[in-house]
Amino acid sequence: MNGRRHYAGGDLARALTIEDLRHMARRRLPRFLFEYVDGGAEDEVTLHRNRHAFANLALVPSTLVDVSNRSLAVDLFGRSVAAPLVVAPTGFNGLLSERADVALARAAARAGVPFTLSMASNVPLEEVASEAGGRLWMQLYWVRDRDFIRRLVARAQAASFEALVLTTDVQVSGGREWDRRNYRAGMALTLRNRLDVLAHPRWLWRIARHGGLPRFANLRELAPPDAATVVDDMVALGRNMDPSVNWEHLKWLRSLWPGRLLVKGVLSAADARSAIGHGADGVILSNHGGRQLDGAVSPLEVLPAIRDALGPEAVILLDGGVRRGVDVVKARALGATAVMTGRNGLYGVAAGGESGAARALEILRQEIDRALALLGTPDIETVDARVLHRRANSQSPATTSPLLEGVI
């Protein structure tokens, strides 16, 4: 042991990395809840593959370049964003911190980047819009009740949400086995986890003070009239998820929604072309953070082929495995318009509410800025595959994929 350890105290200013915020969150959250945020599906092969894909790429800096003035701004749907970041949709955030959805949205607005609200949020979309402002996107799961979809889309339009994000990779729930091991049956925690909750009195007091676990604020219409708890909401959502969703449904959604439309869950060039062909304005390469199909490819691995298929002007976002600013730079070099970040903000909001969420985005911004300076490429818009080198001796699962074939 070398004695090194990540900071896990209460001073957000001392959190130097996302990993520090992760340790702070782990200390503050009950075990079952941290597992929900942090874990992946089955053997977590895909969860780790997402990180390996970034680790397998090295950067080749240029020297004696004037980097005294640097720019992180990129164009996204015709408007400038302060950095190539978008806060990804994540559900049940109210478990982590009070009104966490608003906190994350406010942090994004302060950072000058878009925020995506999950359909499974704990704060109504109208309140997020009025209390946070900024560039707001709305995420949608496909459910059987088409009238509900119509109403939700109309609500998002009325609240001036800029974009709609259709998540397509949750036809059924992934096998999150480590998460499920925290429960005896249903939502009943094991004895060990009940005792662990008691060891986190601040979290328990906050939940009790607000009358129990927060409900899904935008899904009440799907639940039966006698639904009284979030468990009832979860059961109703599960029963309404529609595994028959297909490209014709995307065309119908396009007819309802006048704003920007993105398809999340794309991992092949063929699907990317189909998404654009059926009316999407952009695609989000995602394996759901390794929480759905274990063994799926990493979004970074398929990014070059999808960029080649869609052309230089297409909006292509990517999520999964991003923990450092250099990861964002690598994704940009391979053709991503911007990167979505989910868990990073959750670690921050769990560690310190809105200030913690802002700290997470600021850490990433600082790391991107520093990477551009040290890379000798002061404008992120000019970063491309010429700055990349694939490590020849990598032993990770990602090495079997032609990550940079035809790119470098």
Nearest-angstrom CA–CA distance, 317 and 86: 9
pLDDT of residue 1: 55
Domain presence at residue 197? no
List, by residue number, the catalytic residues: 288
pLDDT of residue 221: 87
Enumerate the known binding-site residues for FMN: 89-91, 118, 139, 264, 286, 319-323, 342-343
Confidence of residue 307 (pLDDT cuts 50, 70, 90): very high
Nearest-angstrom CA–CA distance, 338 and 353: 25
pLDDT of residue 407: 34
Enumerate the known binding-site residues for glyoxylate: 36, 141, 167, 176, 288, 291
Work out the average pLDDT over 343-350.
Answer: 98
Work out the average pLDDT over 268-278.
Answer: 98
DSSP SS3 for 261: strand
Closest CA to 266 of 241, 247, 244, 238: 247
Residue 386, pLDDT above cutoff 70: yes
pLDDT of residue 226: 86
Closest CA to 322 of 308, 303, 294: 303
Contact by Cβ (8 Å): 359, 21: yes
Domain presence at residue 10? no
Regarding beta strands 183-185 and 163-167, do their DSSP bridges make them parallel or antiparallel, or are they unpaired? unpaired
Nearest-angstrom CA–CA distance, 356 and 363: 10
Enumerate the known binding-site residues: 36, 89-91, 118, 139, 141, 167, 176, 264, 286, 288, 291, 319-323, 342-343
pLDDT of residue 392: 64
Closest CA to 137 of 111, 117, 110: 117
Domain presence at residue 392? yes
Domain presence at residue 330? yes
Contact by Cβ (8 Å): 119, 93: no
Domain presence at residue 191? no
Containing structural domain, residue 55: 21-176+239-400
Nearest-angstrom CA–CA distance, 360 and 170: 27
Q: Which residues contact 370 (CB under 8 A, 6 or more apart)?
A: 325
Q: Provide the domain count of the chain.
A: 1
Domain presence at residue 32? yes
Mean pLDDT (the chain) is 93
Work out the average pLDDT over 70-85.
Answer: 98
Domain presence at residue 370? yes
Work out the average pLDDT over 311-328.
Answer: 98
Work out the average pLDDT over 219-231.
Answer: 86
Residue 240, pLDDT above cutoff 60: yes
pLDDT of residue 397: 43
CATH code, 379: 3.20.20.70
pLDDT of residue 405: 37
Domain presence at residue 332? yes
